[in-house]
A = this chain, B = another copy of it.
Amino acid sequence: MRAEPTRRARPLPREDHQMSKIVALDTYDIRFPTSRELDGSDAMNPDPDYSAAYVVMRTDHPGLSGYGLVFTIGRGNEVQKAAIDALAPHVLGLALDEVVHDLGGFARRLIGDSQLRWLGPEKGVMHMAIGAVVNAAWDLAARLAGKPLWRFIAELTPEQLVATIDFRYLSDALTPEQALAMLRAAEPDKPQRIARLLAEGYPAYTTSPGWLGYSDDKLQRLAREAVAAGFRTIKLKVGLNVEDDVRRCRLAREAVGPDVEIAVDANQRWDVSAAIGWLQQLSETRLAWVEEPTSPDDILGHAAIRRAVAPVPISTGEHTHNRVMFKQLFQAGAVDLVQIDAARVGGVNENLAILLLAAKYGVRVFPHAGGVGLCELVQHLAMADFVAISGRKDDRAIEFVDHLHEHFVDPVRIRQGHYLAPSQPGFSAQMREASMRDHLFPEGRVWRQAAPDAATG
């Protein structure tokens, strides 16, 4: 593993791309009309149209581009696209080498724009846009190295990995030196873990049975199918009506039997005291975790809920907007486990910081996925974490929802409740050309055919 430079399988001889530049940052407003089917309905999101502000970082080397996306649920996707466009001046004209050999510097260039920073800092629309562009740069670097992103990250040296991370505001919890020591400790077993990953895959859990819009029968049928397909954990959406939730948890337990785990997700529905009362009523079902019981910003609220309902495991993270918030969730003992999201924080770099923090605090990570493209992206981060950071995978799992994978060039592959390790170079974010064209909003075929009132955005 140490012989990084010679092992890197470059599809291009160095001299061919040495003079290459970033020549375009093209953005697309792509939306899927999922609200027509009620797939993806939960207590806070009754009618999402799964969408992506999609970015293609084009180089002047024929056929070489990097791909990234921000996942949204419909309206506002155009705002997200405008935010990515605002980053173009930082990217256009950069030498390819400046990007792929200094991914830390590239991210800091975007995050450090002193004027754009006012719009966050490091949160919401602008930070998610930065994440998409930074992820496109990692995709580009992994493609150039000829590796899937999980392996590209896993085969960085500890020094290279630490150099990609912005430790600002983290040093009271994690210093670069501590991160280096953790990564060095994980070094010797990396080859063996890569072999295990390739052989076994990475555990998945599924949310497919549990959407609020589904009938009891559909819930039970899908829960049984999930178990038959090899999943060891399922997740139900809760939070609209407590009697319904008690019944649905009971039906789910009936369907999956005693050995499969059931998690629930309230999607931020409750205040602190409401969460405590609701969870006490759900106590007959043993829960693997309770996700997003309240505002994702409420670190102290999560800590209070966790204390009140112990030992029920408490979790949040898919809307946690940056590493400073994750740091505090860990410092406050607010969570038993966390979700990470590949397209909410400022890109791979920040997710690596979060994975290091989680490992340091001994908190398990159950990556958030679903939506469109989130499974494709986040699998790489979980697998890199297993190989190079935490060294663990069998006490955790990546969310899986079987939606919209057909629109990607390198879709996830699930076998017996496990994600198989991607083998194609890059971050798996590239969409199929026909899918992009058809789902462009509002001019694509799918939206032109929709009822007129569905296309008003």
Task: Identify the A interface with B (CB < 8 A).
Answer: 44-49, 72-76, 78-80, 82-83, 86, 89, 113-128, 168-172, 268, 271-274, 294-301, 304, 319, 321-322, 324-325, 327-328, 331-332, 456-457
Contact between chains at A126 and B299 (CB < 8 Å)? no
Write 26 A-B pairs (CB below 8 A) sorted by A numbering. A44-B114, A44-B117, A45-B114, A47-B114, A48-B114, A73-B115, A76-B119, A78-B82, A80-B119, A82-B82, A119-B125, A119-B128, A120-B124, A121-B268, A121-B296, A122-B297, A123-B123, A123-B297, A124-B126, A169-B271, A171-B271, A171-B272, A171-B274, A172-B273, A172-B301, A295-B324
Contacts of A89 in B (CB 8 A): 456-457
Residue of B nearest to A269 (CB): B168
CA distance A212 to B168 in the complex (A): 22
CA distance A71 to B168 in the complex (A): 26
CA distance A74 to B128 in the complex (A): 19
Smallest CB-CB A-B distances: 5 pairs = A124-B124, A125-B125, A75-B115, A74-B115, A172-B272
CA distance A328 to B86 in the complex (A): 32
Known: A78-B82, A168-B271. A72 touches B115 (CB 8 A): yes
Partner of A271, one of B86, B122, B172, B331: B172
List the number of copies, as a whole number. Answer: 2
Partner of A300, one of B113, B117, B332: B332
CA distance A404 to B180 in the complex (A): 49
Partner of A298, one of B124, B274, B328: B328
Contact between chains at B124 and A127 (CB < 8 Å)? yes
Contact between chains at B268 and A297 (CB < 8 Å)? no
Contacts of A295 in B (CB 8 A): 121-122, 168-169, 324
Contact between chains at A299 and B301 (CB < 8 Å)? no
Contacts of A122 in B (CB 8 A): 295, 297
Contact between chains at A304 and B124 (CB < 8 Å)? no
CA distance A48 to B127 in the complex (A): 19
Known: A123-B123, A125-B83, A300-B331. A116 touches B75 (CB 8 A): yes
Contact between chains at A319 and B171 (CB < 8 Å)? no
Partner of A321, one of B46, B73, B123: B123
Contact between chains at A72 and B121 (CB < 8 Å)? no
Contacts of A80 in B (CB 8 A): 119
CA distance A300 to B304 in the complex (A): 15
Contacts of A44 in B (CB 8 A): 114, 117
Partner of A171, one of B46, B273, B296, B325: B273
Contact between chains at A299 and B321 (CB < 8 Å)? no
Partner of A126, one of B76, B121, B324: B76
Contact between chains at B328 and A300 (CB < 8 Å)? yes
Given contacts A72-B115, A79-B125, A170-B271, 6 further A-B pairs with CB under 8 A are A79-B82, A79-B86, A123-B297, A124-B126, A172-B273, A300-B328
Residue of B nearest to A294 (CB): B169
Contacts of A75 in B (CB 8 A): 86, 113, 115-116
